[in-house]
Structure 1
Amino acid sequence: MDVSLKVLCGLLLVLQLYGTHTDGQVKKETLLSDKVSQLMDWASRRPVIRMNGDKFRRFVKALPRNYSVVVMFTALQPQRQCGVCRQADDEYQILANSWRYSSAFTNRIFFVTVDFDEGSDVFQMLNMNSAPTFIHFPPKGKPKRADTYELQIRGFGAEQIARWIADRTDVHIRIIRPPNYAGPLMLGFLLAAIGSLVYLRRNNMDFLFSRTTWGFAALSVVLIMTSGQMWNHIRGPPYAHKNPSTGQVNYIHSSSQAQFVAETHIVLLFNAAITLGVVLLLEAATSDMDIGKRKIMCVAGIALVALFFSWLLSVFRSKYYGYPYSFLMS
């Protein structure tokens, strides 16, 4: 009887432990299902889910979790004067929309934003003092060093962030940008202006056979394209960036993946000055002017090429960290 009683007690204990484990597993699966359902409901209405501290701790930090979360920590309120935050948020919205409306959309990954004024406790919890910052929270474990996006090196373009996400999650997102009609509209105005000019000069079309006219037009197109004007039409960057803490205005973007409008104008000016220097050198070598004027043109051409090429290389060095070569100035 004693042996039978012990066996019976053991069986009851095993059943109790199994039942407790089963109940805990069921509760865990139920909690996970509720979290995923809630996130999917939010994502269906807004691809980028806004969260405060409580939602962040529940849906991003707390277990269980079988999905990845990409969080952009930002400061979008006007009083923060974070122009880069607004630009990064626009690219982040394009990224999230591209994922939400793609045929591969699943609950494997969600896009979240935490604003400083809505979740300052989250910034304190993660010891963060800068924005914008992108962090990937994996389904298991804590974020590693590679789960923090290198914004200063890669830039905040949607394509660059998508490649980083593919490296961390194996989720490939094809970026789909909304159509920008500014370029075709400007092209239409330009063609209309050229057509009007040709119509007004229809009785004298000699200018169409001028090599100088066509050369200047071709050079203008080359300078515009190499300076990044089309990039500005596509991305719509700000003219410059003002640091809210120091008040310093930056006209050159620190990343090789982005640029300001002012930077485009600076590069255009430098390229034009280098081109003018080359033209002066060619004229000095081939023209029939007296030797004194040719010497002046030669010296001016060398000065323009050397000085502005050095400045152009300095701009490139400031954007592409680690580039070893410089000329005249660092």
Structure 2
Amino acid sequence: MRSVSLLLLTFICTIVQCALTNEQLLKTVQNSKHKLLTLNDENYESILKGPRDYHVVALLTSQSPQINCVLCHQITPELEIVADSWVKDHPKGIKIEQEEEEGESNKKIVAKNIYFFKSEFAESKKLFSLFELNTIPKIFHFKPTKAPGPKNFLHEKQEYQFFQGDHKSLMLNWVQDVTGQKINLYVPIDNTKLIIHAIIGFVSVFLLKRYRTYVGKALTSKLSWCIVSLITVLLFTTGYMFNQIRGSPYVLEHADGKTDYFAPGQQTQFGIETQIMSFLYGILSILVIILIKRAPEIKNDSISLILVSVVSLLIFVLFSLVLSIFGLKGMGFPYRFIRFF
């Protein structure tokens, strides 16, 4: 039995490394437990270099703790869900139909299969260097092609842009757009999360019942409502819902490795802008509360003077930073105190 399993595993690996046609890749996916196949320096040429009669969606990533790519760890399981959803929708693949238009000899491909791959940096250094990557993760789509060139895939790729939100849904929509295929999303039930949520719910109900007196005081406390209201106002003032509705990217990464944290113009922004501005407004709010609420309560005149001076200086510096950010987003904005940018 072990020898049969070993032969089967060897057969599958051989197909992956030598996969040139749709039929071979389809057989590989059907015999593989993981629908997100491996792409590395040993097999990328046989899969990517044309001609190809299928779509390829490739994730270039790294799970290495030395690289410590947080987004890589988040994206990989999300793309696995998308790959599994495609296979569940098309367990036998798509029958590639061909139509021949009257008066034309060229055949038009109506539908083609999609295959999902993951390329690990440690196993694909040559492939990564071909793309001249400065940042990861990257997701590329390679359309079906008849180009015979050995490196034609370098010029045919379409890159996925990472946005804030539900990654699997965003990637699914992108895959549907670039391939023209309809995919239903199948999200597996996470039993671990289900158990954790059940435990949290039970513990919460138990604590609420046991300490209902303290909970009642917290719910009727002016300080509690002040903190919750302040956080809510800051989040919505700085564009949290704007990011959720528009699906704003977190940052903008350029090909040369440069990263933009602030989007130009007043009609758009990046996700990190919300965090930066919320932090600045939050600190400014706390400083103003200290200045008008706590400082007058200090009886020692010297300590009160020092506190007022320090707090006023911090407000001046932070507000100057806010004005500089406004000037960075709107080039005609004329007001400045300290020029940070």
TM-score normalised according to structure 1 size: 0.54
Q: Higher helix proportion, which one?
A: 1
**Partner residue in 2 for 1:74:** 61
Distance 2:277 2:139 in 1: 30
**Partner residue in 2 for 1:196:** 210
Kept after mapping to 1: 8 A contact 2:29/2:35: no
Relative to 1, partners in 2 of residues 1:310 and 1:88: Cα closer, same or farther, differing over 3 Å? farther
Deviation at 1:129, TM superposition (A): 5.9
Alignment counterpart, residue 324 of structure 1, candidates 326, 330, 333? 330
Alignment counterpart, residue 149 of structure 1, candidates 152, 160, 181? 160
Q: Structure 1 unaligned runs (5+)?
A: 1-30, 230-249
**Partner residue in 1 for 2:181:** 171
Deviation at 1:50, TM superposition (A): 0.8
Kept after mapping to 1: 8 A contact 2:262/2:329: no
Determine if the alignment matches structure 1 residue 109 to structure 2 residue 114: yes
Root-mean-square deviation (Å) = 5.4
Structure 2 counterpart of 1:73, which letter? L
Distance 1:53 1:94 in 2: 25
Kept after mapping to 2: 8 A contact 1:50/1:113: yes
Alignment counterpart, residue 56 of structure 1, candidates 28, 44, 51? 44
1:161-240 paired onto structure 2 within 5 Å:
161-173=171-183, 180=193, 189=203, 192-199=206-213, 209-219=220-230
Deviation at 1:149, TM superposition (A): 3.0
Relative to 1, partners in 2 of residues 1:316 and 1:159: Cα closer, same or farther, differing over 3 Å? farther
Kept after mapping to 2: 8 A contact 1:76/1:115: yes
Determine if the alignment matches structure 1 residue 158 to structure 2 residue 164: no
Question: How many residue pairs align between the two structures?
Answer: 262
Q: Structure 2 unaligned runs (5+)?
A: 1-19, 95-112, 241-258, 264-268
Determine if the alignment matches structure 1 residue 92 to structure 2 residue 79: yes
| Cα shift readout 1:286-328 (whole Å, capped 9, x = no counterpart) | x9xxxx9xx99999988766655665788899xxxx8436875
**Partner residue in 2 for 1:232:** none
SS at match of 1:53: coil
Structure 2 counterpart of 1:132, which letter? P
Determine if the alignment matches structure 1 residue 123 to structure 2 residue 110: no
Structure 2 counterpart of 1:53, which letter? D
What percentage of residue pairs aligned between the two structures are identical? 21
Deviation at 1:114, TM superposition (A): 1.9
SS at match of 1:131: coil
Kept after mapping to 1: 8 A contact 2:143/2:156: no
Deviation at 1:139, TM superposition (A): 0.7
Kept after mapping to 2: 8 A contact 1:76/1:85: yes
Deviation at 1:45, TM superposition (A): 1.8
Q: Over alpha carbons, which structure has the higher Rg? A: 1
**Partner residue in 2 for 1:35:** 24
Relative to 1, partners in 2 of residues 1:309 and 1:172: Cα closer, same or farther, differing over 3 Å? farther
**Partner residue in 1 for 2:286:** 276
Distance 1:69 1:110 in 2: 5
Distance 1:316 1:100 in 2: 48
Structure 1 counterpart of 2:72, which letter? C
Distance 2:262 2:63 in 1: 21
Kept after mapping to 1: 8 A contact 2:234/2:281: yes
Kept after mapping to 1: 8 A contact 2:30/2:91: no
TM-score normalised according to structure 2 size: 0.52
**Partner residue in 2 for 1:241:** none
